[in-house]
């Protein structure tokens, strides 16, 4: 199910003919009735540009939408996994972030619609577990990238690659010293499926612990694309976390999961993907 708010449906074209696949175009804030054994709730725009465009709708997606899917899980006894986020840690004062950290989140800023919406979704998951014994899994997903991203994604990897490919200036926010850790999409999907089939009901961080500054990322992408782009320094957005890095000890020990795709390999694949997309335009 997808309302195609931030996508075009291109990513599911390969499955469209399969009898094992069906697609419902619907917004999850509209109640649904589907007998499911497993539910992965990944609904909600994750790019700051997209989720800040209509912040009230973002909160509704994470709160009303999550209630709707939890009601399905309660009714049919489904196991349900929530795609939570490293944003629950806000601008972290503990580094790297373990699952036990409660975070440092601004409740009234521009990112709050996403951060607090996702935090409330986690609250709902644990309340449905305590109150109705729903079988829950919660993944805290750190920055993830790879083929399949929207052209207009607006997050750093997509922006830098598109800018580098077209020779435009690279828009580096702040002084570029802020850090992130980037997990390749296939690693993330493996982690989500391993968590779903595990017996772990506490939140689990999923992400690649290799940390890189945005300045360094810009340089790497310029090199990999052999680009002539220059770097243009832009203001750092409000509440932009300065450092972020997952502690993945829990996923390593309980799921035997760790990322296997290096940033260089993942970026090369993603650059190839964006090239195909832009050439097809
Ligand atoms: N960023 C940047 N230029 C861009 C987009 C993002 O320098 O064109 C920075 C942003 O300020 C943040 C980091 O890259 O520090 C990651 O931003 P993104 O929007 O990808 O995701 P976030 O982790 O902030 O949700």
198 in contact with ligand 1, CB cutoff 6 A? no
Please report the pLDDT score of residue 209 as a whole number. 97
171 in contact with ligand 1, CB cutoff 6 A? yes
SS3 for 135? strand
Mean pLDDT by 10 residues, the chain (281 residues): 91 91 96 96 96 97 98 98 98 97 97 98 98 98 96 96 98 97 98 98 98 98 97 96 97 98 98 91 61
Query: Phi and psi at residue 184, in whole multiples of 5°?
Result: -75, 145
- Cα separation, 86 vs 75, whole angstroms: 29
The pLDDT tens digits for 163-221 are: 999 999 999 999 999 999 999 999 999 999 999 999 999 999 999 999 999 999 999 99
Q: Which domain holds residue 158?
A: 10-279
**Number of domains the chain is built from:** 1
2 falls within a domain: no
Nearest atom in ligand 1 to 87's CA: 25
Please report the pLDDT score of residue 279 as a whole number. 86
121 falls within a domain: yes
DSSP state of 20: T
From 213, 273, 263, select the one nearest 243 (Cα to Cα).
213
46 in contact with ligand 1, CB cutoff 6 A? no
Please report the pLDDT score of residue 188 as a whole number. 98
Please report the pLDDT score of residue 214 as a whole number. 98
Please report the pLDDT score of residue 281 as a whole number. 61
50 falls within a domain: yes
Please name the residue whose Cα sits nearest to atom 12 of ligand 1.
240
117 falls within a domain: yes
Sheet of 79-85, strand order: 38-41, 79-85, 135-141, 203-206
5 falls within a domain: no
60 falls within a domain: yes
4 falls within a domain: no
From 248, 192, 205, select the one nearest 79 (Cα to Cα).
192
Phi-psi label, residue 185: left if phi above 0, alpha if psi -120 to 50, beta otherwise: alpha
Residue pair 265/258 in contact (Cβ under 8 Å)? The answer is: no
Helices 156-166 and 214-225, axial angle in degrees (round to 10): 40
- The total of other beta-carbon atoms located within 10 Å of residue 193's CB is 15
Q: Strands of 185-228 (E only): list them.
A: 203-206, 211-213
Helices (H), 100-197: 112-132, 156-166, 185-196
The pLDDT tens digits for 12-29 are: 998 988 999 999 999 999
Residue pair 246/206 in contact (Cβ under 8 Å)? The answer is: yes
CATH number, domain at 242? 3.40.50.720
DSSP state of 98: P
- The total of other beta-carbon atoms located within 10 Å of residue 182's CB is 23
Active site residues: 114
180 in contact with ligand 1, CB cutoff 6 A? yes
Q: For a substitution probing ligand 1, which of 52, 156, 181 has the most ligand atoms within 8 Å of its CB? A: 156
Nearest atom in ligand 1 to 49's CA: 19
Distances (CA, A) of 80 to 33, 182, 220: 15, 25, 38
Distance from Cα 143 to the centre of ligand 1, integer Å: 10
């Amino acid at each position: 199910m997808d309302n195609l708010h931030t996508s075009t449906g291109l990513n599911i074209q390969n499955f469209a003919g399969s009898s094992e696949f069906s697609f419902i175009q619907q917004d999850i804030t509209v109640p649904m009735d589907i007998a499911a054994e497993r539910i992965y709730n990944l609904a909600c725009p994750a790019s700051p540009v997209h989720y800040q465009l209509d912040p009230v709708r973002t909160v509704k997606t994470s709160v009303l939408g999550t209630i709707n899917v939890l009601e399905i899980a309660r009714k049919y006894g489904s196991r349900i996994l929530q795609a939570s986020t490293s944003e629950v840690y806000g601008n972290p004062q503990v580094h790297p972030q373990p699952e036990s950290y409660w975070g440092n989140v601004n409740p009234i800023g521009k990112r709050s619609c996403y951060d607090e919406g996702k935090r409330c979704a986690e609250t709902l998951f644990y309340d449905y577990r305590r109150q109705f014994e729903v079988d829950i899994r919660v993944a805290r997903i750190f920055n993830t990238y790879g083929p399949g991203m929207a052209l207009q994604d607006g997050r750093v990897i997509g922006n830098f690659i598109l800018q580098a490919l077209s020779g435009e200036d690279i828009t580096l926010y702040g002084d570029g010293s802020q850090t992130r850790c980037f997990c390749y999409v296939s690693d993330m999907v493996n982690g989500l499926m391993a968590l779903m089939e595990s017996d772990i009901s506490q939140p689990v961080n999923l992400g690649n612990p290799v940390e890189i500054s945005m300045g360094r990322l810009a340089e790497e992408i310029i090199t990999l694309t052999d680009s002539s782009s220059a770097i243009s320094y832009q203001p750092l957005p409000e509440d932009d976390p300065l450092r972020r890095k997952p502690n993945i000890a829990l996923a390593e020990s309980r799921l035997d999961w760790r990322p296997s795709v290096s940033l260089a390999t993942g970026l090369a694949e993603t650059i190839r993907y964006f090239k195909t997309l832009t050439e097809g335009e």
